[in-house]
Structure 1
Amino acid sequence: MDKLSVMNAFCRIVDRGSFSRAAEDVGVSPALLSREVKLLEESLGASLLTRTTRTMSLTDNGQLFYDEALRILRAVGQIEDRIREGAGEVSGHLKINAPTSFGQMVIAPILPEFLERYPCLRLSLSLDDRLVDMIEGGFDVSIRIRPTLPDSALIARKIGTMRQRIFASPDYVAKNGVPEAPDELLHHSVIGFLLADHLTSWALQGPSAVIDVPLDPPVRVGNSLVLRDLLIAGRGIGTLPDFISDAEEAKGNLVRVLPDYELPAPEIFAVTGSRLGLDARVSAFLEHLSSALRR
């Protein structure tokens, strides 16, 4: 059990007066927070919270734990601040994991400025489209693009939202026509993304409803940049994230298909192993990345 993390979570529960509001603050589920408090109480051999369906209050032992936990957390924060102020710079080794296409299209272009700003920093960037065990891999932060993330001991911080829309090349639509409704996609050559949840079914969000379109893509690839290149070459219709499609659409290499419809927008999460706060290296990187995403 990570005692400092549990202390932080417990204090947040008390301050917010609710497991659900505290869970939202720290980026985990209420069920996970409830389990952690139960484990804490079992380890102490004492009840800290009295809970009913409508109210929650501190026991005497809970009040004692809350007061001492606040004192300890403040002391840890002050020590960290002093060390960071004394160091005066972001340094050390930062290990990042990210999806391949996002790493190439979004992270790689911002690295020169980031490294120039923090010259004492060592950096490792690992690109992998499959979900990796970031703790086993020794990563400080993992960028994950998902509609939601499952409960885990890791902490996920939302840093952006991605749009996923439908595209084809001008040559393809000139030769094959443009589908006017989602069900007309069944008569077109669709290129699928192997690692996506929507490989064989697109839940398209339209003006008034969500329409499920079953698919059996004859061509399936495991990399969004390969998918982009196939679309530009006129090989079919497919979906692309905005960080890949925007530039190609602006240059006229791709055109929107069914512009009133798009897939559910995945969230961009930064996943770390600590609930207490971010390492200075991770904080600097995520601030830099978030700024780029806002632009």
Structure 2
Amino acid sequence: MNDLSSSPPGSDDDESCAPPRPRRKGIYVLPNLFTLAALFGGFYAVVMAMNGRFELSAYGVFCAMVLDSLDGRVARMTGTQSTFGEQMDSLSDMVSFGAAPALIMYEWALKGLGKLGWIAAFVYCAGAALRLARFNTNISVVDKRFFQGLPSPAAAALVVGLIWVADDAGFRQVDAIPELAWLAFAVTLFAGLTMVTNAPFYSFKDVGLKRTVPFVVIVAIALGIAVVNIHPPIVLFGLFCLYGLSGYVVYAVKRAKGKPVSVIAVSTDEPDEKGLHQ
């Protein structure tokens, strides 16, 4: 005798017993808006360089730097971190702080140097790609207080900062000024190679914005803003030059004192200095 409780295939009972379809993963809008805006800053900088508006190229890269520093903070504050956002941020950084500065510098000064010019631009672009790839693979074992090598936004600030300062001083046909073209060549190579060194650069990630600070700190911040406004191109470029050299100074000091200089931890459980190796 057939079981009367059994239902023929394709009945409503089979549909009710079917496992629910997995929900499709969405994309968080807010942090990715900042990332896309940073990507647009790099794209805008390249377009302006193609039109000979190098001062606007500098503005585009610096705006991309500000937006890039905000997308991660916004994601953490709103609990909207995602793997998609991390990958999107890396791709945006490669465009805004890797390809864009290399192309802008080549168009501004390096193309007058022939093969050496585009080789320097490629070294910078390759250095940015290698630096970002190493950062993504070592993110779980690196001392959070330091970057391994010069971060790509700071390297981009060195390159476009030189362009901003020279353009503000009235230098237009840079390829006709050999001294300035070779200076651009040296800065581009320095920034590109420093990104792939093991020199430790302070990351400022341990600076807590939610903690209370003495009143004098607020006064110092106000004075810093006032100093920057005296002449933004020179002051900002000078600050990034000091930061670009700071990693080598920290490396030399630690080496002289016999302390570990690597920012790679022996284990993920001990990210402090005592858990680092040379």
TM-score range, shorter chain: under 0.3
Q: Give the TM-score normalised by structure 2.
A: 0.24
More strand by share: 1
Which has the higher Rg, Structure 1 or Structure 2? 2
More helix by share: 2
Q: Give the TM-score normalised by structure 1.
A: 0.23
